[in-house]
Structure 1
Amino acid sequence: MKLKIDEQADALYLTLGEAPASRTEEASPGIIVDYDDQDRVVGIEMLYLSKRAPETDLRRLLFESVPEVA
């Protein structure tokens, strides 16, 4: 999994898999989802990042994992 922030494009892209995208769909305004040829999500792009999270320092990201429930 990779997270890429493009400050010039004002976008964030989350890569979820190595397969190339064969189909793209705009899930909601400015949220683009890429699918592979087996209809699995391989990437998610968020446009207008500075408007969606204006107070966020994009150089500092916090990743959290939710513990598994037995």
Structure 2
Amino acid sequence: MKIQYDKIADAMYIYFKKGAVAQTKKISNRVLLDLDKEGNVLGMELLVASSQMSKKEIGKVSFEAPVYA
């Protein structure tokens, strides 16, 4: 798993699994899921992330763990 934050877009992306995105599913106005062709979740994008966390907290978010397939 990997987490990235884009300050300009104010968006956080959480990578769960490597793969080619076949479809993006809108869960809400601020949450999008990227799915592969089998429907497995590859990642999640959180829009307007600073409304969920303070910008100070977001700037400290960094996490990487190995992805097992």
Q: State the superposition RMSD in angstroms.
A: 1.8
Residue ranges of structure 2 left out of the alignment (5+ in a row):
64-69
Query: Given the two structures, how large is their TM-score scaled by the length of structure 2?
Result: 0.78
Classify the secondary structure of the residue corresponding to 1:53. coil
The change in CA–CA distance for 1:62 and 1:43 in structure 2 (over 3 A counts) is closer
Looking at both structures, which has the greater relative contact order when contacts are Cα pairs under 8 Å and sequence separation is at least 6?
2
Partner of 1:23: 23
Task: Trace 1:26-41 onto structure 2 (pairs within 5 A).
Answer: 26-41=26-41
Supply the AA of the counterpart residue of 1:41: V
What fraction of aligned residue pairs are identical, expressed as a percent? 27
Distance in 2 (alpha carbons) for counterparts of 1:52 and 1:59: 13
Classify the secondary structure of the residue corresponding to 1:58. helix
Give the number of aligned pairs: 63
Structure with greater proportional helix content:
2
